[in-house]
Structure 1
């Protein structure tokens, strides 16, 4: 404020000084205006007098100018006529010279054309002869090329057939190898299972694998017999658990095995070879009947040592077609102990018990395992033999394929040689035909030119005679016009002298007139300038007076406000410090509020769930209390009606409440209430603010997602457009490169290729070139000169 007050005082002083200066300048300017007005009146009088004299001299000068122009126009007309005749004479002379020169050139051209016709006729005959020879050589080359292509096609078909056979055999060999390996693995697993006696009773594994008495046993009965696949199920049903019985060489072995199992745990059936065969009744020889195939023993092939044992086990056991036949057989011989089985495993035992149905483990029995092992051994041997037999055939086919491949390469080289020769001969034939056609056209052209030259010579002779007559007439007319021009030149000189004198006088007056006009204009400009200066000075004086008044007012205001501002400034300094402290406190409060807001949202959710649970519980309790009150009232009424007893008058029950349980319940409820705490009413408002903030941020996020999608679409469009434009330009450059390469290397080939399986915008460009007589190869393999031209 002090600075503004000092500035107002400076403005007042400056305004007073400038008003004094502007007043002095205003008086001087007004005196100059009066002097300039007197000079301007005098200059106007002189200017009017000079302007009258100038108009009189201009009229006389115009008359002299008109006379001079008339003589000049007539002389110019004569001169133009004379010059026109001279020009025409010159043109006629030049035309005569050109026509004469052209006539001489036509004679020379006629002689030269006759010699050129003879030369062209000779060259045409030679070109026709060369074209015929090239055509004959081309036909022979094409015949050789066709033969080579047929041989190549035959060799290619043989190679394709051999490759197909080779692939088929390779596939068969691989399939045989895979099948043999799979079957071998299966066989090894089965043999391991059998060697480990897996699937047998625990007693079998204990005796055969863990006991010192394994040598006393020959093995399991199921492993010592062979049965055809079709009857394996029938034998398994007939023998039953005996299939898993061990075969002991003697009774001592039997006893030792049982004793060992008694010590170790486990059970097993053991058959001793020393035991005499036992049978139930005599051997039955039934009469033939439909469905009876015969004794089951006929379909079993046991080892020689256990044959008596098998005979006893399968005593009077017959194989029949179906269960009906089995029942009929047992009914026919009711006194005999007969057992019948079907191939499917249905059976009627010695005591008439019939069994049948389908078992899910038919192929996993002892006989099935052995049968599968034998089958797999045979199959593996067959597959290995097949694999070994395919190897030599593959070697033979590979040798044949190598021979055919070499043959194809030789034929390809030969085919390329014949193609190159064919292209060269085609070019030779085309060049010869083109030369013959060109020479024939040239002969026709020369003949036409000769005829034209003869007609032109005749026309030139006639034109030369006419031009000579025109030249003589033009020279006579030019002489007449020259004489008339001399007389007109004398008259023109006199007119020009008069015009020059009047122009000089007019020029003197014009100079004086211009000088006077300049003086007048200068005085008018000075008057205008002085007037503007006067107005500016008046305006400046008025402006300075207003500035002085405004400066005095501002000085008074500044003095009044200076004191008030000092007090206000002091208060503002104190308020700024308070606001700064409050701002820091608000920031800390805002950070804590954000953290508390997140915690409150989680607490609100938790409390809301608990509140809902408590409300549901309270509702259920209120309903229950109402029901209990109704029941109590109903009971009281019934007691009153039936027993005339007032329950309320009897007082409370004598039984005391369980105070410990009740107190625990009260403590639990108090803890629950304490955990719930008081409900913060401002949470909902804070939640609403946070929700609005969240909705705003989500809207911004959605806008950004949409913008990102639009940007992706734009980038995709730019990428597709760039790729399309690049491919179009690449194809155009590729075709141009091919054409240009052929012009530099006749008979050669070239190409531009993009790197495969890579985006077109990022792929490398390979330059492939093949000059005539070379194979198609990369540009890096060419010589330095070829690479530079490419």
Structure 2
């Protein structure tokens, strides 16, 4: 009883401790759950930031692409404008050259008119030439016409554009005297008095159908030359077409002439002048074209400057966008790293939360188990107490009976003499009491043995309880050690990820450094080549200088018997007095002057160059030796590669031929290399001839034949270098039943070294498998895996009892 009470008390204390441990686990689980929720919120925030930054990055990249496209278009526009400007400048240069040379003007007129030495820089050419000798002006200098009508004005004026306009009749004798005295040729002269004496144009055809305007309305001239313009152009009208011009010419014959928009001229006599004329041949059209070209050149210069400014602005924008893109990309990368760290922490907390939930569940189960054991022990204790009370009651009753019997014996002994007749009866009663006493004592002994057995049972229960408590503590310790190891593993995993990121960054940095070093090496090689070329040039120059020095020394020695190396100054007594000696001295001086100044540092420079050449030669030899060694290594690698390739190809070729005949039940197949080409660069051609067919290219085979040929080739390569496992994903889809059977037979030959995992929908392929895994969806969105072994199914398709028992146990 005492042991049961002790066991009951210990079980109660164990339950209290377990409840306290359960409370601590629940508290820790709640804390970790709150931390887990916080980490999930932070992760969601980081993901939102990454999404926002990614959207911003996409927008920036779109803007950057648009800016680059706009920059490319602006550069193309600048190129087109520069091409146009170059053509315009070339044409302007030609026209300006013609203007400077007064091309098209009769030489007599050129000499007659005093042309200034420098022409006006005004692009409009509105200023009139200033003639110094006499106040004369060329008719072409008087009139300014737009480019659209300049050729027509030249056609209207004809040779009159070369006439000289004189404001006074008195200048005609001076001009005549100049012509007769100095110049040869003829000159047309128009004076103001002669023009004023002529009739003024008084016919107005502006309202006539088909008439555009009068020719004098299309030109510009100074007010003092208005009468000249009216006289030369006032009798000519622009019309729409040649038919209108001829009709009006018939009405106004001899009075007016007409010209069309296509420069078709009908003169005063009704003669029609057709054809085109180059603008460079007419003075007015040439100057109009030159004026327009200069204006276009100015406009193009302005446009090019504006486009260049726009290009500079776009270039700055592109540079800023690239910087901004890099900054946003770096931000996204940093956020991704933070997201990875938070995910690692979240995963750690999730695993810890699962562990605590499992510990809480286990602890709750143990608490229930301990409470059940406590209740069971309490029930046993109550039962034992009830049995003890019953036994105590019965023993007390027997003791009372024994005392009563003793009193009865004493009374009988006292009354023995008195009751002899009843002695025998009392002795019989005494024997009976003794027997009952012996039986009661035997029953008491049996009760004591039962009590001892129950005491042993309680001791065993206490020992089992202690062992359970020990196992509980050991389980808790194992769980804590496992949690600690798991936490250490997660920390190591996180450190490994950090180290991986660091190594990746270091690898990228080393790659950049390697590229920089490679660029430096290329630059040094380039400098070495330049230095070598320069050294050779200096050596040649030094050789030439030494040769020239030796030649001069030999010439001085041969021609003048002067040894420059041992020459001493000439004394006064040795000077000659002959003129030949003086001439010789003078010649020597000229030769010495022709030689020029002597570079005193040439020898030092030559020594430095020779030292540098030796150093560069040593480096060059080392590089050449390294190159030779590398070429030898490459040749050795190529030779080994060729040998291994040929050996591998021969073995695969034999395997392919064997497997092809087995897969097709006959036929032939071969792997051929391209002839006349290095084996490492040669193409590979596969020929196949199924049973009953000639050797044809793979492209002419059917789909199933192509697939079976490809599988044969893959298995031939796999047979050359097998692996323990091989995964085939629906390779039997194009096969018919016969080909599937041969395909399975081919696979069975590999089962000694390889296990095949096949993904298939073919029932015949499934029948050849040892184990089938099926994936089914019993509920929407929930997949379930079903596996079947053929040895677990009988011929009627029923599962064996062992399988059913195993499934129930699982």
TM-score range, shorter chain: 0.3 to 0.5
Q: More helix by proportion, 1 or 2?
A: 1
Return the TM-score normalized by structure 1: 0.37
Larger Rg: 1
Return the TM-score normalized by structure 2: 0.36
Specify which structure has the bigger relative contact order, considering alpha-carbon pairs within 8 angstroms and separated by 6 or more residues.
1
